[in-house]
Structure 1
């Protein structure tokens, strides 16, 4: 009998009762998603191959497909994992901040901490993971665009709440402010990707918040 390498998923299934089918209990889906997420985050969707993923997750391609579906399905799961565990927690920040200005300021500074972390890729995964993708990945790009637009809509809604709360003037240019601060966030991502320090990015936020009064002057 010859020794034959087996991956983690297969090895685990060998210990499980044969009458039970499906994903092995000792396969850590969360750890697998985290490893896959880091690859997509660092190298982007298109540049990350199935071979890269199976090597990082230490499983075979059939096991990967069985657990997560195709590459695109795994990528979408990784995006959701990123938003839940790595991205700036925009909802609680916006809910707890007393004013729209405070909400945006906290959000921007918190985002910088997420954009530059030790031992993790820089930038926002929602922005960098589909940069330079080809036409063959249009569906993937569209889905990520929808995610970005959802995040942008949260900015718009918090500004509208600012008008209702009275800390923004009734005729504040909500659309312009949304576009401006969404652009700032995207710019921070690209600067972080290019090696900017937290100090440099903090200066950008300082200037961006000084412009708040130009938008919302009473």
Structure 2
């Protein structure tokens, strides 16, 4: 039987409908990154499953893979999203502060505000999201370590600038200072995760800044 023009039109429409049904579900990529970031931030990389992610993002696994790649790739995107939107803006603080000491003090107090945000996981995602991972996630842990080391390098560079500007003596052991304040910063995260209050963390900073002149 010869197909009529109407039959061909109906067939063409059916094909179009099938193609549309096969397309990935539309979603806001930035909103999806934020939701995924919160999951990784709260539960860590290894404990967050693909099922957890697809449920939170309300997308299918194929859509997730199509847009973000594998779980590790999505995690790296979330780390970058965290650094851009949630982490304490270290560079503007360091650039605007008149001395290295003022820069560190302002940064520490602002950092605490980021560690204890309402309706957000406590602590710094760079520290808590990839701890206690298995050997199978070594690459993920290494990537996060590299991010942390870059943040640590910014501390050292600000101390070096303090020597150039003259507010730190040329003999100041800035590598030791960097290690010390990095340890304080990381310790604040663990205290925040354990339920320490803002007042308690402020006291830690007060003592940490008193140590400044001992170096």
Fold match, TM over 0.5?
A: yes
Tell me how far apart the structure 1 counterparts of residues 189 and 210 of structure 2 sit (CA, whole Å): 20
* 1:185 has 2:191 as partner: no
Q: Is the 8 A contact 1:23 1:67 kept in 2?
A: no
Q: Which residue of 2 aligns with 1:211?
A: 211
Counterparts of 1:34-113 in structure 2, within 5 Å, are: 34-113=34-113
Q: How many residues align?
A: 198
Q: TM-score scaled by structure 2?
A: 0.89
* 1:198 has 2:198 as partner: yes
* 1:138 has 2:138 as partner: yes
Q: Which residue of 1 aligns with 2:173?
A: 173
**Cα 1:79/1:22, change in 2 over 3 Å:** farther
Deviation (angstroms), 1:112: 0.2
Tell me how far apart the structure 1 counterparts of residues 91 and 205 of structure 2 sit (CA, whole Å): 20
Structure 2 residues not aligned, in runs of 5+:
1-15
Structure 1 residues not aligned, in runs of 5+:
1-13
What is the aligned-residue RMSD (CA, Å)?
Answer: 1.7
Q: Which residue of 2 aligns with 1:149?
A: 149
Q: Which residue of 2 aligns with 1:164?
A: 164
State which structure, 1 or 2, has the greater radius of gyration over its C-alpha atoms: 2
* 1:28 has 2:28 as partner: yes
Tell me how far apart the structure 2 counterparts of residues 49 and 151 of structure 1 sit (CA, whole Å): 28
Q: Which residue of 1 aligns with 2:3?
A: none
Deviation (angstroms), 1:22: 8.3
Runs of 4+ with deviation above 6 angstroms: 21-24
Structure with greater proportional helix content = 2
Q: TM-score scaled by structure 1?
A: 0.88
Q: Is the 8 A contact 1:45 1:129 kept in 2?
A: yes
